[in-house]
Amino acid sequence: MGNPEPFDYTAIIADLESKRAALDATITAFRAAQAAGALGQAGDMPAGATLAVPFGASGGEVPVGAFLGRSIPEAAKLCLQILKRKMTSREIAEALKKGGIESTAKNFPTIVHSILDRASKGSSGIVKLNSSWGLAEWYPAGLRSGAAEKRPKAKKGRKSKKVKSADKTASNGKGESPDGLQERIFKLLRAKPGAELAPSEIAASLGVRVQTIHFLLGKLAYRKQAEKTTEGKYKAIAA
């Protein structure tokens, strides 16, 4: 008899390590599914039933019926919790169908996108990051997209404050309304037909700050009740 062939221990070790990695991945996936509630309670599985393997444990297959009875935001959140990676709307839509969410819509990914967009603005825990979706617990607040969408409102608020400030400037500090003061300026200009008055002259005559006079003269000019000359003075426009 010849000498027996030696064992290839390197190949044996490599095979065992690959099996161990697969088992570790399976255990991790089951723990995530259990924590998310996808496996139900102990004793829920009938006798003879086979247990579906969670995401990532067998080539990324979706557990059979994992999303039955769940809303799209709930199912999407569970999907993200198990996969532990950000996903596009199309990827989530495909995963939901594999997990038991039924839909005959041709644009199901678009529907999922719209629903998740609304959910991300509430307390669902789902956040939008560019063209993908993730969980709020994965990212710091600075990376979430909701904050950038509020900036236009802040600009609108600043503009509103400027308008209110201008209206206050039009008061002469004596309780007179801007419209009443504007009417006095107009009467002063009409009392001197053809005469051109500088804002400083009008301010001195009415006892009002010149800045306020400038503002109200601009309004009169806009309403075609007064005209500004090339010298920066104003005169009434004949009716």
CA dihedral 70→72→74→80, nearest 10 degrees, is 120
pLDDT of residue 111: 93
- Quote the pTM value: 0.40
| Domains along the chain with CATH numbers | 10-39+50-145 (no CATH), 152-236 (1.10.10.10)
For residue 22, the model assigns a pLDDT of 62
- What is the pLDDT at residue 139? 80
- Rounded average pLDDT per 10-residue block, the chain, 239 residues: 64 72 67 63 51 45 73 88 86 88 89 92 88 87 52 52 50 65 84 82 83 84 83 79
- What number of CA atoms fall less than 13 Å from residue 79's CA on the CB side? 34
